[in-house]
Copies of this chain bind each other. A is one copy, B any other.
Amino acid sequence: MSDTFAIGELGRATDTKVETVRYYERIGLLSQPRRTSGNYRAYDRGHLNRLSFIRRSRDLGFSLDQVRALLDLADQRDRPCEAVDEIARGHLAEVERKIADLEALRDELRGMVRQCGHGSVRDCRIIEALSPGDALAAAPG
């Protein structure tokens, strides 16, 4: 096996649909690979790493714009660190906020699932937990 990959191989290696790979290229997130004589895209290991990074970041809830910023950050290894440090700190704060949000969500879901008595929907605590509280459910007066 050579050092280049067709788009399908790249897709399988990164769990990305072929159309999505082309989409990333179209919006400039993934650089244009060289083409074979038959006009097929020929990717190298750099593309593979970059795409892996993109996919994982997306999975973690970063927007494409944020992924772009992260990639720039990773690319500017020669630059003095200060400008980059700020971006990194910003991302760190955001990641920490995201973790906190998800943990709160997880706790709620855990509470729901734990309380589920496996009875009928009538007694289902999950549904109950999702239903509005007193302030909205009951009319005053």
- Chain A residues with a Cβ under 8 A of chain B: 3, 13-14, 45, 48-50, 52-53, 56-57, 59-61, 70, 73-74, 76-82, 84-85, 88-89, 91-92, 95-96, 98-99, 101-103, 105-106, 108-110, 112-113, 116-124, 126-127, 130-132, 136-137, 139
Contact = CB atoms under 8 A, between A and B. Distances in A.
A70 B118 CA distance: 15
Contacts of A73: 121, 124, 126-127
28 contacts: A14-B136, A48-B132, A49-B136, A53-B126, A53-B127, A56-B130, A60-B105, A61-B98, A70-B126, A73-B127, A74-B124, A80-B121, A81-B116, A81-B120, A81-B126, A81-B127, A84-B116, A84-B126, A84-B127, A85-B116, A85-B126, A88-B126, A92-B109, A92-B110, A95-B105, A99-B99, A99-B102, A102-B102
Contacts of A124: 73-74, 77, 81, 84
